[in-house]
Amino acid sequence: MEKKRLLKGAEAVGEAAIQSGCGRFYGFPVPNQSDLMEYLVQQERAGRGPVVFQSEDPLSALFMAYGAALAGARVLTALNSIDLPDALRAASYFSAAGLPMVCVIFTQSGPGSGNIYPEQSSTLTAVYGARLGDGFAPVFTPSAPTDCAAVTYKAFKTAEAYQIPVFILIDAACAQLVETVDFSTLNIREVPAKRVGILETEGDAPSKSTTLFLDIDEMGEKKEALREKESAFLEKEKGAFKVMGEGGDAVIVAFGIGAIQAKRAMDALVPEDISCTVFEPETLFPFPAEAFAEALGKARHLFIIDMSHGQFESLLGPHIPDTASRHVFSVTGGAVPRVELLKAWIQGELQSS
Amino acid sequence: MKRVVIDQERCKGCGLCAQVCPRKILVLSNMVNTSGYHPVQCTDEEICMGCANCATVCPVTAFEIYKPVPIVVAS
Amino acid sequence: MELKFEQIAGFPKSLSETPQHFCPGCTHGVNTRLLAEAIDTFPAGEKIVGVCGMGCSGLLPDYLDVKMVAAPPGQAIPVAVGLSHEIGGKGLVFAYVGEGDLYGRGLSALLHAAKRGESLTVICANNLNMGMSGGHLSPTTLLGQETATTPDGTPATKYGVPIDFTRFITGIPAVSLVARFKGFTAGEIKKGRGYIARALKVQKYLGGFSFIEILGICPTNLELPPAEAVMRTKTAVAGIYPSGIFKTPEAGILT
Ligand code: SF4
Ligand code: SF4
Ligand code: SF4
C-alpha cells in the first residue's frame, strides 16, 4: 500500500480504520457516508480492511454493529446527521453494555431533509445527545483529510481503551475535500483488542449482556460504575486541539471546514498587518478547555466561526471570559464561510472596536 | 418409586396441568408455597399413565415424570 | 413382570434454576423450557448464543444457561445478525422475540434478514397482545379482541384485519424452515419442541434462516384464569393462525 494517498476526507477515515484494525463496517448509503463505504468496498475487493455490510437502514446498521461488537469485532459505522438520533440511541446502548464502536457522523444542513451541503448544526445534539440516560461518547471533529485519518486512529484507540462509543463529526465539506495524506507520518497501527467476544468468555467473565435492570439497586450500581468510568475518562482526557499561528490581534476559533477557512483567512490577513491565532478543537467532548483558555490569553478579540444558529457559540460560552470581546460569524444553509468574507469581517470588526 | 414428582416451590398454581391430565389426578392443594401460590399435588400416582401432558404444558417446569417399563430379561 | 422406572420428563440441563417472573400460566415459561430442551440436543461444547427482544421475553438471559444478549426494542434481529456475521460457522445464534416487538418496529429488520437468508433461528412468541406494556394492541391482535388501547374490541375500521406474518415469511425464497404451533396445548407442544431443535440443526448444517412462531396465551391481560385463556385463545386463532410446518429445506413450501 502506497504511503502517500490522494484521498477525500471520507476515504481517509476508511483508510485509517483499515490500518487501525477495524473488522466490520455497517452502513447505509447516504451522501458522504457512501464515499466511505465505497472506499471500504474497493479495499475489501483488494483483500484488505473490514467486512463491509450494507444494512436495510441506518438504525439496523448500528445494531448489527452492536451484535458484531458483542461477538468481539472492532466495528465502524457511519451515517448522515439527519439520522443522528439513531446513533444517539445506539450510543446509549453501547455505553450501557460497555462496548466500543466508532461512529462517523457526516453533518449536513438542516432541519428536516435540508440539503447535503456542510453545516455544523448537529453539534449540540451530538455532544449532549450521547448523554441519553447518562451514557457518554467522546466527540471528535477533524478537518482536512490528514486530520480525518489521524482522528480516526485516535477514535479507535479511545473506544478500545475505555470500551465506549466514540463519535467523529465531519462536515460535508471536509468529507469531500481532497488532499494527499502521508500515512508514513501518521504512524497508525492496529489497535490491540482489550476483550474477547461473548462466545469466547469463560469462567467468571460475563456470559450475558443486558442493559435491562428492573431492580433499582442493581440499576443504581450500573449507573455508579458508568459515572466512575466517565470520571476516569475526563480525568485523563483533556481534549484534543490544534493551534495555528501565534498572532495577538485576534483568536479565531472554528472546527471542521470552518477551521480550514479560518487558517486561510489568517494567512490572508498577514499582508494587512493583522496577526491571528487559530484555535481548532479536535474534540468537542471533552472540550480542550485549558488549551482554549491559554490560546485566548493571546488576544482580547475572539472570533467564532459558527456554522449553525449559535450552537458552537453556546458550547464555547462557559469557556469565554467576560474580558474577551466576542465576535460571531454565522454561516448556514450549506454554505462554506468564504475566506474573503472572513478576512473583511475580522478587519472590519477590529477597526470598529 | 415415585412417578409424579412436583417441585411445589416452583409451581405457580396456574392449573394448566390439572386441565390436561387424562387421569384427573392433579389438583391444586390448600398449601401455600413461599411465593404465595397454591401448588398442585398428585392424588394417586399409581394410576398415572405417564403421558407427560402435565410436564408438557407446565410453564415453570415443575414436573419430573417416571414411567414404569418392563425389564426384558434376555433368556 | 419386573418393572423399572424411566424418566420421561424433567428439568432440562440448559434451563436455569432462577425463578421466572412470568405470570402463572404464561406460555413464555413453556417456550423457555422448549428452548432449553432444543439446546440440550447439542453436545455440551456447542457454542450457542441467544438474543431476546424487549417485553416479557426481555429477562430470558436470566432463565437460560447459555450465552445470552438482551436487545433493545425492535433491534433483536439486527443484533442477532451482527452476532451471526462475526461468529460465522463457529456457533449458533437464535433470537426469541415477542410479536409486538418483532412484527412492530422490528419488522423491517426481520424481513430483510429473512430475505438475505441470514444464518439465524428466529422464534416469535405471539400472544396476540403487548404483554409487558399492559396488554395493548399488537400487530397480531385479532378482530374484536379487547386490549388496553381497544377496550371495546379491536375494530377493522380503525386497525384493519390481522395478517399472518408467518405465512408471509414462508414465501421469502431464502428462508429454509417455517413452522408454527400452539405453546399451550400438550399435543402441539410435543410436536413443536422438535421444530426448534430442527431449526437450530438447519442453521448448523445448512447455515439457513429458520422461523418458528409459537402462539401463546397471556392470561393476565386476557383477565382470565389460565385454563380459560387456553380455551379462548384456541378458539380465537382457529382458521386465522393455523399450526403446522409450512416450509422445510428438503421440500420447500408445503401447502
Ligand atoms: S403424566 Fe399424564 S397421567 Fe400422569 S399426572 Fe401427568 S398428565 Fe396425569
Ligand atoms: S402447570 Fe405447573 S405451574 Fe401450573 S399448576 Fe401445574 S405444576 Fe403448577
Ligand atoms: S403479561 Fe402476559 S405475556 Fe407477560 S408474563 Fe404475564 S402473562 Fe406472560
Q: How far apart are CA C216 and CA C126, in angstroms?
A: 6
What pTM was computed for the model?
0.96
Flag whether pLDDT at A165 surpasses 80: yes
Beta bridge partners of A193: none
Q: How far is the CA of B61 from the centre of ligand 1 (A)?
A: 14
B74 pLDDT tier (thresholds 50, 70, 90):
confident
Pairs across B and C, CB distance < 8 A: 98
Interface test with C, best of B2, B5, B12, B65 (most C CBs within 10 A): B12
What does DSSP assign to residue C148?
A: S
In what order do the strands lie in the sheet containing A301-306? A241-244, A276-281, A250-253, A301-306, A325-330
- Ligand 2 binding pocket includes B38 (Cβ within 6 Å): no
- b/e per residue C30-41 (b: at least 16 CB within 10 A): bbbbbbbbbbeb
- Beta strand C92-98 pairing with C120-126: parallel
Q: Angle, nearest 10°, between helix axes A58-70 and C107-116?
A: 70
Question: In sequence order, which ranges of chain C are alpha helices (DSSP H)?
Answer: 27-40, 60-63, 76-87, 99-102, 107-116, 131-134, 156-159, 165-170, 186-206, 219-222, 226-237
Centre a 10 Å sphere on the Cβ of residue C146 and count the other Cβ atoms it contains.
17
CA-to-CA dists, residue A302 to A272, A314, A326, A328, angstroms: 18, 14, 5, 8
pLDDT at residue B73, as a whole number? 77
Residue among C54, C72, C86 whose CB faces A71 most closely: C86
Chain B residues near residue C232 by CB distance under 8 angstroms:
none
For residues A178 and A9, what is the distance between their CA atoms, to the nearest angstrom?
7
- Does the beta carbon of C28 lie inside 6 Å of ligand 3? yes
C218 lines ligand 3 (CB under 6 A): yes
- Chains adjacent to C (≥3 CB pairs closer than 8 angstroms): A, B
Mean pLDDT of A183-200: 94
| Among the listed residues A19, A78, A72, A71, the one whose alpha carbon sits nearest the alpha carbon of residue A54 | A78
Dist. CA C21 → ligand 2 center (Å): 14
Judge C/B contact: 3 or more CB pairs < 8 A.
yes
Q: Break chain B into its structural domains and give their ranges.
A: 4-65
Structure confidence by residue, pLDDT tens digits, A283-333: 999 999 999 999 999 899 999 999 999 999 999 999 999 999 999 999 999
CA–CA dist A232, A162 (Å, integer): 9
pLDDT of residue B59: 98
pLDDT of C216 over the 80 cut: yes
- pLDDT > 70 fraction of chain A, expressed in percent and rounded: 99
Find chain B residues with C-beta within 8 A of C230's C-beta: 16, 19
Contacts of A352 (CB under 8 A, 6+ apart): none
Q: Could you confirm whether domain B4-65 is CATH 3.40.50.1970?
A: no
State the average pLDDT over residues C57-76: 95
Q: Which residues contact C234 (CB under 8 A, 6 or more apart)?
A: C182, C184, C185
Q: Which chain B residues contact residue C12 at CB under 8 A?
A: 61
**Element of type H or E holding A291:** helix A289-296
Q: Whose CA is nearest to atom 6 of ligand 2?
A: B17
Contact state of C70 with A93 under an 8 Å Cβ cutoff: no
Subunit contact C82:A66, Cβ cutoff 8 A: yes
Q: Please list every residue in chain C whose beta carbon sits closer than 8 Å to the beta carbon of residue B22.
A: none
From chain C, the residues in CB contact with B63 under 8 A are: 9-10
**Angle subtended at Cα C99 by Cα C95 and Cα C105, rounded to the nearest 5 degrees:** 90
Report residue A206's pLDDT band, with 50, 70 and 90 as the boundaries: low
The C-alpha atoms of residue A208 and residue A295 are separated, in whole angstroms, by 48
Q: Give chain B's mean pLDDT.
A: 95
DSSP letter, residue C250: T
Which residue has a Cα nearest atom 6 of ligand 3? C23
Rounded percentage of chain B residues whose pLDDT exceeds 70: 99
In chain A the domains, ranked by start, together with CATH numbers, are: 4-236 (3.40.50.970), 241-352 (3.40.50.920)
Helix (H, G, I), strand (E, B) or coil at A185: helix
Q: How far apart are CA C199 and CA C69, in angstroms?
A: 20
Measured distance CA(A321)–CA(A167) in Å, rounded: 28
Closest CA of chain C from A68, distance in Å:
4
* For ligand 2, mutation pick of B5, B40, B48 (most atoms within 8 Å of CB): B40
What's the rounded Cα separation, in Å, for the pair B1 and A288?
76
pLDDT at res. A190 = 97
Tell me how close the Cα of C14 comes to any Cα of chain B, in angstroms. 12
Q: How far is CA C158 from the centre of its chain?
A: 27
Complete domains list, chain C, with CATH: 28-248 (3.40.50.970)
Q: Whose CA is nearest to atom 6 of ligand 1?
A: B54
C219 CB within 6 A, ligand 3: yes
For residue C122, what are the β-bridge partners? Answer: C95, C211
A217-225: which pairs have CB atoms within 8 A and are 24 or more residues apart? A222/A96, A223/A134
C-alpha–C-alpha distance, residues A329 and A215, integer Å? 50
- Determine whether the interchain pair C69/A210 forms a contact, defined as Cβ–Cβ distance below 8 Å: yes
What is the model's pLDDT at position A34? 96
Q: Take atom 7 of ligand 1 and give the residue whose Cα is closest.
A: B21
Q: Does A65 touch chain C (CB under 8 A)?
A: yes
Whether A63 sits inside 8 A of C79 (CB atoms) is: yes
- Cell of residue B61, nine digits: 417446569
Pairs across A and C, CB distance < 8 A: 111
pLDDT digits (tens, 9 = 90+) for A226-282: 999 999 999 999 999 999 999 999 999 999 999 999 999 999 999 999 999 999 999
Backbone angles phi, psi at C71, to 5 degrees: -95, 160
- Give A155 Cα–ligand 1 centroid separation in angstroms: 62
- Residue A207: its pLDDT value, please? 86
Cα C235 to chain centroid distance, Å, stands at 20
CA separation for the pair A351, A274 (Å, rounded): 11
Q: Of A65, A1, A11, nearest to A38 (Cα)?
A: A11
